[in-house]
Structure formats: C-alpha cells, structure tokens
Structure 1
Amino acid sequence: MKRYRTIIVDDEQISIKSISKIISHSQLPIDIVETFLSSKDALQFIQENSVDLLITDINMPEYSGIDLLKRIYEIDTSVSVIIITGFGSLDYAREAMEYGVKHFLQKPFTSSELIDSISKSIQRVDEKRASVLLWRKELVKSKIWGETLNETFPQPFTMMTYQENQFPSFHTLFDQYFRDNGVEYVYGILQGTVMYLIFKEESAKLEIPNSLSQKRGIVVVQQEIILEQAKETFYRAFPFYEKYFYFKNLKCFKKKDLEEEIQSLSISSIISEARGLVSENNYQTLERLILDLFSTAVKQLQAVSQLKKCSYELAKILIEDGKLDINVNDLSHTVEQLDYYLDIEEWLMKILRQSKAQKEADLIGKSISDSINLIVENNYQVSDLSLKWISKNKLFLNPEYMGKAYQKEMGKRFTNHLLEVRMEKAADLLKQGMRVYEVAEKVGYENNPDYFGQQFKKYHELSPSQFLKNLKK
C-alpha cells in the first residue's frame, strides 16, 4: 500500500505530540517523516525532500501558515495541506483556499475530525499528483518535439526508456514494481519508444525488478535530468537499444554508460587482412581474426550494423574462396535474421570450416607437398599431426610414399617442416604475450611442455624464457 510522507509544523510542541499520537493510533497510511517548530525549517526541508501532506498551524513566527503555503506552492503544487488555527478567520481561509487548501481545523479539534481531514487530504494528494504528473509529461514530450515552452518545472527527474515492441512483456512488471515500492510515475509512448518519468527521489534507488531479469532487451535509465535536457536525453538512448544483440538477458544502461565513447570497427582493414590470409590458405590465423573480431565487438559494444556488415563480407570471401554451394545473394537476409552475436559468430565459423575442408579436398590431385603444407598450416596445433595422421584423416595416401614424395619436392623432410612451422608460430605467440605453457598447448605440445622447451631452444638457440627476456630489452 502506498504511504504518504507527512510533516507537522506547529510552534507548540504539545500540539505536535498530540497530532502525532492521533495519527500513530489510526490505521491511516501516514509516515510522519519530520516535525518542525519553525516554518522556516519546514520550508527548507520541503525544498530538499518530497512531501505529500503538510499539517501546519496558521499562526507561526517567521513565516505564517499562509506565507509557507505561498512558498510551497512555488516548489510543488501537489502537496496537500491541512490548516490548523486557534482562531477563525474568514480572510485567512479565503487566502488559503486560493492555494488549494480544502481542510481547516480549529483548535481544539477531535481525533475523528483530524482523521477525517487526513483521509480526504490524501485522496486529494493522489488526484493532484496525477494531474501534475500528466502536466509534466506533456511538457517533457513537447520539449522532445522541440517546441518552445512558456511553462517549466524546476525539479530534476528520471527518464527510463525502452523500445515499444517490448511494452507487452515489460510494462506490467514495471508497473507492479513501481506500485510495490511506492514509486509515482507517468509514462508515454513516442517515436517507437516507451518513456517512464519519475519525479521523486525514490528514483535514485531504482533497480531493475528481478521479474524482468530473464527477459531480453535494453532499458536505459537516466537520472538527474532537467526539462531543458529532455530532448538530448531522450535521443541519446537510441543507439543503445540495438545493443540487446550482445546480451541474452535484460541489460540496463545508466547515464554514465551512454557517455563512454564507442570505437568504430575498421571493416576495410579486417576484410583486407582476411583476403590475404585466405590467399595464403592460413585458416588458423583467419579463425583467430574472426574470434578476436567478435570478442572486441562484445567488449566494446560496437555498432551492431557494423559487425553484421563485416560478418557478411567475411562470409562472402569464404564462400567464394571455397566455392561453396551457398547463394551469396541470401547472405544479407541471413545476417539480418540473426539477432545474437554468438549466433552470427557460430554461423561464420561454420562457413570457415566448410571452406577450409573444401580447399583441402581440392588439393587432392595437386602436388603432395602443396597439399601437406596446407594441412600443416591448418592443423599444426594437433599433437598427433604426422604423415600417418594425414594419411588417415586427409589425403588417404600411403605415409611412406607421401614422405618420399614430400622430400623430393621440397628438399627437406616432413618432420623438419612441421617443426619449423610450429616453432615460428610459437615465437609469434610469445610475442603476443602468451605464457610458455599456453604456447605449448597452441602448437601441439600440450601433453609434453618440457619437450616443447627443448625443441624451441634447439630451433631458436634460446629457451622460451630467454626469448621472452630478450623481447623486454
């Protein structure tokens, strides 16, 4: 149940205690958040805090009850007021009514009279709050549309937005969350965007409700917004709605997240590098290039359109290179239909594997050395890689025959070439900052890292640790 924040202002402590006691013994949904002997102190509190109901004596030092009303009205017209007076004054009543005061209690009053006035006042609070919220919403919408306003309101507010297509699954849960937490809000839909506006300090404590955690989509929450910033705030969220592409569950972006600069993908350089790797049949490095592309994209939340365009171009290169039976004209539609980054990554890696397999199959009938060199380039990380492995898994030729043919064509033994490829790859990986045991696993020595160290030293005339030290010099 919604509870109403109430303050009591009276220069007599006994009156404050009496009113507080009556309220505490009632069943009214009232929270007395503060009491004041000074109307000046009360005004300062209202300037800094949200208040629903004010119960005040009209005859106060510093500011009279009427003066306090005038100043409060400038801050928040939705505050409901009960005037208590020790003398009946028609002039005071008329002036107070100009500020929306409906309830007057003359001392002494009964408990039932106070409770009845409070009950009617909090009904009035709800009516006034709803009216004020709607008025403020219209001002915010007008500001977003770029209209010149003759009215304004000083209070900062929170703007929470998400795409309209999420409304059926989001709104009921948000509404329940707001009600459960006593948060007053108003919402509207414009330009395909659902916008919640919250004007009280409860918004600072807002969290995405647990009931929404398994939903998928983007919610943008921007706090401490003033009316003049409404248009900029509203449109600043737009580029982030597509970021759901990187998340399986609901993601909430805050104002500070929107201010971080997002790096653009260098699509042309990635495509150029990919073409070079394909021409060299270097599918191992190409695979790493693709994985790094997606890893960087999700880490930096790069523009989804750019990542999809880059994926499309990479797929096109692989399909053409492997002469795959995939209609290139359908690629664009396929990419657009995939709405999660891991799905596109998996789709692209599948095409890479198909292209790689097709290229290896095409090599059968070409020179033995060309076929073996390509297989080594793409499989050097396999610990069991040997002529027997190639015979069993790739070329299906006699291992002894392949060994003799390879040595005749290349002028060196297969094992020497395999060692050369692995050690050169190992040096490259160490330069990239990998640890020695990680490199051993990457180049086919995961079962024998000590032997990797021996082979590395034999080939480079430096142990892996010495090699790393030289890099730091």
Structure 2
Amino acid sequence: MYYNLDVGNQDAILPILKEAAASFIQQGQDERSVKESFFFLSNAVIHKLTAESRMEQEGAMTVSLFLNGIFQHTHMDDLVAEAHRFLITLAKETEPGGHEQDFKRMIDFINRHYADNLKLDTLAGMLGYSTAYLGQLFKSKTGEYFNTYLDKVRIEKAKEFLGRGMKVYEVAERVGYTNVNYFHSKFKRYEGRSPSEYKNP
C-alpha cells in the first residue's frame, strides 16, 4: 500500500484496504482486534510516508486524531472509507503529472528503495503502464535497461558504505543483494575490482 501511495497510484488504495478488512474478518478477529489491525496497518504506512519529511505539529495532531478515531467507528465500511480518505490526503503531494513526471517519480523511487526487491513489472503496475512500455520508456530516458540502472545505483551506494568502513557482507545486504558472491561479481563487473580491493586499495 505504501509503494502505491508513494508513486501516486491512488486508485489502488481502496481495493487494498477492502482486501485487508476482508482478511482480518476471515481470520476470525473480533471488532477490537480488527480495529487494532487497522491501527497498526495505517500507522506503519503513515510512518513510511512521513519518514523523510519533518511533520509540523498540526500534521502530527491530525495523524493522532485519525489513529485514535479508528476505535470510534462502528461500521467497517465507514472505517475503510475514512482510512482511504486520510491516506490519500496525506499522500496527495505524490500525485503523478504525466509521463515525464511519472518517470522522475520512478527514478526517485528507485533511488530511495534500491535495497528492496524492485521489479520493473511491479513499478509498471503501480504507475499504470505495461511492463514493455515502461521498459522502453526507461531505456529511452536513461540509455540503460532497468536492471542495469538498478545495479548501478546499488553499486554507487555500496561504494559509499564501503568508504565508511562497513564489512562487505553488510554492504551487500544494505544495498539489496542477499548473496554476497553475487554482489561481489556485480561489483567487479561495474568497478573492475572486488569490493575488498575497493575498500583497501
């Protein structure tokens, strides 16, 4: 849900909230537990949305009122509708504005979430494009295929972390490579030397 809000795909939010509500009920949760689940879900998304921006006191108060208000609802539909309204309002600055804006938003997204398991088809779905079209758009704008661009972003970040003295396996995990040997081969491919050689020239 956070990823969709982050890239401005507002149409996906209500179906996700409804699916979450149905899931909580299917698990046999009572009313209190459903509300607590909604509280934790909403709080996690809000925390991610506001993590990189300083929230004014008024904004923090609005968030607090929304979260506390979750426990005041008596109907599930009202709770879902209120959560939808609030999250869309909170993320309204991420509304897309055309292909160029979508592309800039995608590059920014990659630079912030490079350590996640990012896939072109996932981004395409969030932005409302076909995977093939987005791949072509990406190649035409950057001169690189998506996976190559992502690798290069990760390697640049890895160089920063290695420069701070972090261990190679820690850096691999930090930039999104779960296999150290795979990270080693990628690093050597783009840098012409191993992570250890880069760290200790």
Letter in 2 for 1:385: L
2:129 to 394, 397, 413: 397
Query: Is 1:314 paired with 2:45?
Result: no
Residues 284-295 of structure 1: pairs in structure 2 closer than 5 A: none
Letter in 2 for 1:396: G
2:106 to 352, 372, 392: 372
Residues 339-382 of structure 1: per-residue CA shift (max 9 Å, x gap): xxxxxxxxxxxxxxx79x83784236342431220120121101
Matched residues in 2 for 1:389 and 1:407: separation?
A: 17
Letter in 1 for 2:128: F
Contact 1:363/1:370 (8 A) holds in 2: no
Residues 252-275 of structure 1: per-residue CA shift (max 9 Å, x gap): xxxxxxxxxxxxxxxxxxxxxxxx
Contact 1:360/1:375 (8 A) holds in 2: no
2:58 to 293, 312, 327: 327
SS of match in other structure, 2:54 = helix
Contact 1:369/1:410 (8 A) holds in 2: no
Letter in 1 for 2:109: I
Q: Which residue of 1 aligns with 2:194?
A: 463
Letter in 1 for 2:197: Q
Contact 1:380/1:418 (8 A) holds in 2: yes
Distance 1:329 1:422, change over 3 A: closer
Distance 1:467 1:398, change over 3 A: same
Letter in 2 for 1:390: L
Greater mean deviation of Cα atoms: 358-367 or 431-440: 358-367
Matched residues in 1 for 2:137 and 2:171: separation?
A: 31
Residues 172-196 of structure 1: per-residue CA shift (max 9 Å, x gap): xxxxxxxxxxxxxxxxxxxxxxxxx
Residues 344-383 of structure 1: pairs in structure 2 closer than 5 A: 358=91, 361-363=94-96, 365-367=98-100, 368-382=102-116
Query: Is 1:433 paired with 2:127?
Result: no
Matched residues in 1 for 2:167 and 2:98: separation?
A: 40
Q: Which of these two proteins has the greater Rg computed from alpha carbons?
A: 1
Residue 417 of structure 1 deviates from its aligned partner by: 1.6
Residue 458 of structure 1 deviates from its aligned partner by: 1.0
Residues 116-155 of structure 1: pairs in structure 2 closer than 5 A: none
Matched residues in 2 for 1:360 and 1:441: separation?
A: 31
Letter in 2 for 1:387: L
Matched residues in 1 for 2:193 and 2:93: separation?
A: 35
Residues 28-177 of structure 1: pairs in structure 2 closer than 5 A: none
Matched residues in 1 for 2:119 and 2:146: separation?
A: 8
Distance 1:379 1:364, change over 3 A: farther
Q: How large is the Cα RMSD of the aligned pairs?
A: 3.3
Matched residues in 1 for 2:172 and 2:60: separation?
A: 42
Residue 329 of structure 1 deviates from its aligned partner by: 8.9
Kindly indicate whether structure 1 or structure 2 has the higher relative contact order, using CA contacts under 8 Å at least 6 residues apart. Answer: 2
Residue 463 of structure 1 deviates from its aligned partner by: 0.2
Matched residues in 1 for 2:171 and 2:92: separation?
A: 27
Residues 397-441 of structure 1: per-residue CA shift (max 9 Å, x gap): 211110101122233322222111100001111112211111111
Distance 1:329 1:419, change over 3 A: closer
The answer for unaligned runs of 5 or more in structure 2 is 1-47, 66-86
Letter in 2 for 1:375: F
Contact 1:360/1:371 (8 A) holds in 2: no
Per the normalisation by structure 2, the TM-score is 0.54
Per the normalisation by structure 1, the TM-score is 0.24
Q: Which residue of 2 aligns with 1:450?
A: 181
Letter in 1 for 2:111: E
Q: Which has the higher strand share?
A: 1
SS of match in other structure, 2:144 = coil
Matched residues in 2 for 1:329 and 1:451: separation?
A: 43
The answer for unaligned runs of 5 or more in structure 1 is 1-282, 291-312, 317-325, 335-353
Matched residues in 2 for 1:441 and 1:375: separation?
A: 19
Matched residues in 1 for 2:93 and 2:182: separation?
A: 30
SS of match in other structure, 2:166 = coil
Q: Which residue of 1 aligns with 2:121?
A: 388
Identical aligned residues as a percent: 30
Q: Which has the higher helix share?
A: 2
Letter in 1 for 2:96: L
